Amino acid sequence: MDYSELSSIQLDVLQEVGNIGAGNAATSLSELLNEKVDMTVPAVKIVPFDDIFSEIGVEKVVVGVIVRVLGDIPGNILFTIDKDVALNIISSLLGREQDQITEIGSSALCEIGNIISSSFMNAIAKLTNLEARPSVPAIALDMMGAILSTTFIESGQFDEYILDLETRFLLEHQKMNGHFYYIPMPGSLEKILNSLGIK
């Protein structure tokens, strides 16, 4: 399948998957943070593996939450947010200003990453009737390029294309941008797209 030539209708189908996942994640995050959270997916792209490093600031320090996906569509999920945004979220959760990511903060970010990953994978599973089970999340604070490299290496075997969902959260006091990368094992992405009627 040549993902570079997906039509606007096919991309709209993926956009809808992203929007459903974002809506579910926003509801869960609102409960966790005890404040209103809106979440949107302004852009959905299927990006060649080789291009991902040239499109992002690889030296930018980010917090990455990595989740392995098991079931019918195995792969890895990487959710990334800027370090300062992560600190703001932890401060909000703990009720006091945080200037570094402690063990408690890491646990909180893992839980947030878990909520977001599960929300998106559940949306995909529901619309495709495929089984997708997220594993226990792991967290990393490093340069974007290093986190991406590690995620790909840990996959062992991965497809040449990545599903990139740009995410935007609107909390009461801040906007938060992030990226949700689904790094599929060979065949997984094609299986998702075929199940959504994209051929």
pLDDT digits (tens, 9 = 90+) for 172-185: 767 778 888 888 88
pLDDT of residue 130: 92
CB 119 within 8 A of CB 37: no
Read off the pLDDT band of 156 (50, 70, 90): low
Q: What pLDDT score does 74 carry? A: 92
pLDDT the model gives residue 73: 92
Tell whether the model's pLDDT for residue 189 goes beyond 80: yes
Over the chain, what is the mean pLDDT? 83
109-146: pLDDT as tens digits: 888 888 888 888 888 898 889 999 888 888 888 888 78
Q: Which pLDDT value is given to residue 131? A: 92
How confident is the model over 23-55, as pLDDT tens digits?
A: 888 888 888 888 888 888 888 888 887 777 666
- Full-model pTM: 0.84
Q: Going from the N-terminus, what domains does the chain have, and what CATH number goes with each?
A: 3-195 (3.40.1550.10)
Residues 6+ apart with CB under 8 A from 185: 74, 75, 155, 157, 158, 159
In which band, very low, low, confident or very high, does the pLDDT at 70 lie, cut at 50, 70 and 90?
very high
